[in-house]
Amino acid sequence: MREIEIKLRVKNFKALEVKLTADNCRLSDPIRQEDVIYSLRGSENEWREAKEGDIIVRIRRENNRSLFTLKKQQTNEMDNTELETEVSDPDALHEALLLMGYVPQVEVKKNRREGKWGEYEICLDEVDELGTFVELEKLTSEDADPNEVREELFKVLENLGLSRNDEETRGYDTQMYLLRKK
């Protein structure tokens, strides 16, 4: 499955929540997520000049569970083939990744509220050190036109009074990497 998303910076979370609730979007209680993102052999290219085919792996800890995610970039950082599975022993997985040559590069910590809104997944994120964001994503077939899907997602968010001028084209991991390298 292919995941295409857009991410916008949000100035007024409360107003956005009110609009979503009025449109029958039910958001979860806040979920604390703590991610460790790895790159193969400590490569930093994925953050400096991301390109099609780059692979990033992540261990996410949230509440009482852990998830392993692999993302293979397609046309940009917001367009990925994504595979995800729950893991029972994240520490053992961390050790296995080290043995396979993956190196932890970035940590991202955030509070997230998730919701299903029609055919879309929506997330409201408060990311430590980065700020507040909304992500809207659509799962598509592998051959979907990413530009058409992105335009559809922009229109949906613009109907909520948000602006495509507030788009953030980099993932939280890249933003955190760039913040740390300043």
- Tens digits of per-residue pLDDT, 85-133? 999 999 999 999 999 999 999 999 999 999 999 999 999 999 999 999 9
Domains and CATH numbers, the chain: 2-181 (2.40.320.10)
Token look-up 């058409």 returns 148
Which residues contact residue 87 at a Cβ distance below 8 angstroms, ignoring those fewer than 6 apart? Answer: 59, 66, 67, 68, 93
pLDDT surpasses 80 at 50:
no
Selection from 125, 105, 128, 129 nearest residue 115 by Cα? 125
Beta strands in the chain (DSSP E): 2-9, 26-27, 31-40, 55-62, 65-76, 79-87, 102-117, 120-127, 131-140
